[in-house]
Amino acid sequence: MASQNYPPPSNSRSKTVDSGMAVSKDGHSVTKRLRQDLTTLMLSGDKSISAFPDNDNLFNWIATITGGTGTIYESQSYKLTMSFPGRYPYNPPVVKFLTPIFHPNVDEFGNICLDILKEKWSALFDVRTILLSIQSLLGEPNIESPLNSEAADLWERPEEYKRILQVKYREASKAT
Amino acid sequence: MAASTDKDDRGKGTPSMEERSFECNICFDTATNAVVSMCGHLFCWPCIHTWMEARPQDTPTCPVCKSVIDKEKLIPLYGRGSDQKDPRESLPPRPAGQREEAPEDNNNTGYFGDGMFNGINVSFGVGGFPFGFGLGPAFTIQTGRMGGQHHNVNIGHRGNRMHHGRRGGQEEEQRKTMARLLLTFAILFIIMIIFT
């Protein structure tokens, strides 16, 4: 199991930023921190978000987010992948939607446009806070910088948005 | 897989709020070599140092509240019985550069050995002796150059590498100025001798 706990080798971010900072040296503290994240998430008792390392590789997680109550995404659940760089938590993980989602800030490949996963990243964030941020992004999209302009345009017309969202969600859950 | 964490946590019980308030905001573990920012947030020194180094192009900000932070404005925390050393000095994750002083070489080639002063400095050293003998110095310069050249080029090379590798640029600059000065004096002296 321990042998599988390595950071993704082809992570472009860690390649550019790491520049020789020994991943293996920090590897121990990274896995320790990821275990802390898992414990925090499990102890939080929040039913609407969950995550667990995929195949016992601590650097790749599969997460599930259920849309927040009162939002247009209520009771829809989406799977995501989280891959952590060797310099986590100094660098953010790459988080993507595995289940296709109709949302202004998510593109067709599942890439998420969220500032805290990019330039606003802080070493304070953990898996739980990332998932909560994405969950609140679902209900409160940033229309100013859309990745899916169709969804962004429709956001102002909630009835129509909801109709299309439900069709797309049904398709997506059938496919997965 | 989270067995070790479970064991740790169960052993102590779930960390109380009081215990948790001494956790580092980056590694979430009890802060070691603790430092506190001016905005009051607690970190392990290695953790906050790595965070500050992670984005060298930006002004470092507190991971908790985004307030501007500065290495000089982090306050080390010393608990009772803990090491009173400033963690900011004792634990720089980045090792300091190493330099080694070359053994002092009293041979003047060490001083004038590089570049264009090769032959001349030898002649000056040798030529010091026959200054009193009229035309002597002129010949000495010649012989000095001829005789010294081959040998000196070698030393000069070695000297060169030594200078670039280990001596500061300023020091070398001073030395060159000195050499030039001495050379000028020597030439003036020789001219004086020749024309008097």
Domain limits for position A53: 26-175
- A75-89, A105-119, A129-143, B17-31: lowest mean pLDDT where? B17-31
Report the alpha-carbon distance of residue B76 to residue B86 in Å, rounded.
6
Question: CA-CA distance, B119 to B133, in Å (whole number)?
Answer: 21
- Tell me if chain A has a CB within 8 Å of the CB of B30: no
Is B188 found in the same domain as B121?
A: yes
Q: Which of B55, B90, B125 is the last residue of a domain?
A: B90
Looking at residue B2, its pLDDT comes to: 39
- Rounded Cα distance between A11 and A85, Å, is 7
**pLDDT tier, A161 (very low <50, low <70, confident <90, very high otherwise):** very high
pLDDT at residue A170, as a whole number: 93
Confidence at B92, pLDDT banded by 50, 70, 90: low
Average pLDDT over residues B137-147: 42
Pick from A37, A39, A90: CB nearest B51: A90
**pLDDT for residue B14:** 54
The CATH number given to whatever domain includes residue A52 is 3.10.110.10
Domain that holds residue B120: 110-194
B46 and B116 co-located in one domain: no
Judge contact between A14 and A28, C-beta under 8 A. no
Mean local confidence (pLDDT), B104-113: 52
| Whether the predicted pLDDT of B145 surpasses 90 | no
Number of domains in chain B: 2
What is the per-residue pLDDT for A4?
Answer: 53
Position A36 pLDDT exceeds 70: yes
- Tell me the per-residue pLDDT of A63-98, one tens digit each, with 9 for 90 and over: 999 999 999 999 999 999 999 999 999 999 999 999
ipTM over 0.85: no
Rg from Cα positions in chain B: 32
A16 Cβ neighbours under 8 A, 6+ residues apart: none
Distance from B102 to chain A by nearest Cα, in Å?
30
What confidence score (pLDDT) does residue B91 get?
58
In the residue annotation, A114 being an active-site residue is answered as no
Q: Does residue B99 form part of some domain?
A: no
* Res. A128 pLDDT band, cuts 50 70 90: very high
Over chain B, what is the mean pLDDT? 66
More confident residue, B145 or B50: B50
Average pLDDT, chain A: 86
Beginning with the edge strand found earlier in the chain, give each strand of the sheet holding B42-44 in spatial order.
B42-44, B34-36, B75-76
Picking from A80-84, A123-127, A153-157, B130-134, which range would have the lowest pLDDT averaged per residue?
Answer: B130-134
> For chain A, what is the domain count?
1
The model's confidence at residue A40, banded by pLDDT at 50, 70 and 90, is very high
Residue A33 contacts residue A15 (beta carbons within 8 Å):
no
Q: Please indicate, yes or no, whether residues B73 and B139 belong to a single structural domain of this protein.
A: no
- Do residues A139 and A73 make contact, with C-beta atoms less than 8 angstroms apart? yes
**Residue A74 resides in a domain:** yes
- Per-residue pLDDT, averaged over A114-133, amounts to 94
Q: Would A16 be classed as within a structural domain?
A: no
Q: Minimal CA–CA distance to B63: which of A151, B55, B101?
A: B55
Domain membership of residue A133 (yes or no) is yes
A136 is a domain residue: yes
- Confirm whether A34 is domain-assigned: yes
> Between the CA atoms of B145, B147, B150 and B151, what dihedral angle is there, to the nearest 10 degrees?
-110
Minimal Cβ distance to B63: which of A17, A56, A123: A123
Residue B140: band (very low, low, confident or very high) from pLDDT cuts 50, 70, 90:
very low
Please write the tens of the pLDDT for every residue from B4-43.
Answer: 444 344 434 455 666 667 899 999 988 888 899 999 999 9
Q: Which pLDDT band, with edges at 50, 70 and 90, does A142 fall under?
A: very high
Q: Which of A25, A29, A38, A54 to mutate to test the interface with B (most CBs of B within 10 A)?
A: A29
Catalytic residue among A51, A82, A113, A130: A113
Residue B40 lies in a domain: yes
**Could you tell me which residue, A167 or A2, shows the higher pLDDT?**
A167
Q: For testing the chain A interface, which of B5, B24, B48, B57 should be mutated: the one with the most A CBs within 10 Å?
A: B5
